[in-house]
């Protein structure tokens, strides 16, 4: 299957700082990338969908100014959590999909964010 990487896998930061998470598709071109958040023992929550070269589409209730998404190339998308607060602590997972909308989404390993 396709390989998607995420970096960093763990990050601990102070409240008020910004954190950038990278998502890369290693062996395919990801036309579309997705960012999810998952709180402990809860289901995946889609935050936003990004297509290469265009602005991300955010789900209802997700602040676009707080969660900045950039999908500048077919293999890289970044999520920046600006002015992070303790309630932003969560498991952030990206997924990537190739050119066809029906293609499978492949997930990165996730990034655990802890904001102190």
Return residues touching other proteins (CB under 8 A): 1, 42-44, 46, 49, 93, 101-102, 104-110
SS3 content of the chain, % helix, strand, coil (to 5): 5, 50, 45
Nearer to other proteins, 82 or 110 (CB): 110
Residue 47 CB neighbours (<10 A):
23
- β-pairing verdict for 76-81 and 19-25: antiparallel
The contacts of residue 100 (CB under 8 Å, 6+ apart) are none
Q: How far is the CB of 38 from other proteins (least distance, A)?
A: 9
- For the bound state, the minimum distance from the C-beta of residue 99 to other proteins, rounded and expressed in Å, comes to 12
Considering beta carbons, is residue 44 or 83 the nearer one to other proteins?
44
Residue 11 C-alpha from the chain's centroid: 14
User: At closest approach, how far in Å is the CB of 62 from other proteins?
Assistant: 15
**Closer to other proteins at the Cβ: 14 or 41?**
41
């Amino acid at each position: 299957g396709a390989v998607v990487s995420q970096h960093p896998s763990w990050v601990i930061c102070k409240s008020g700082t910004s954190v950038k998470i990278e998502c890369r598709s290693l062996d395919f071109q990801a036309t579309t990338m997705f960012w999810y958040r998952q709180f402990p023992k809860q289901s995946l929550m889609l935050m936003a969908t990004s297509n290469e070269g265009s602005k991300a589409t955010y789900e209802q209730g997700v602040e676009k100014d707080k969660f900045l998404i950039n999908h500048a190339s077919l293999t890289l998308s970044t999520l920046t959590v600006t002015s992070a607060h303790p309630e932003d602590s969560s498991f952030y997972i990206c997924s990537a999909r190739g050119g066809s909308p029906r293609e499978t989404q492949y997930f990165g390993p996730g990034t655990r964010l802890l904001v102190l």
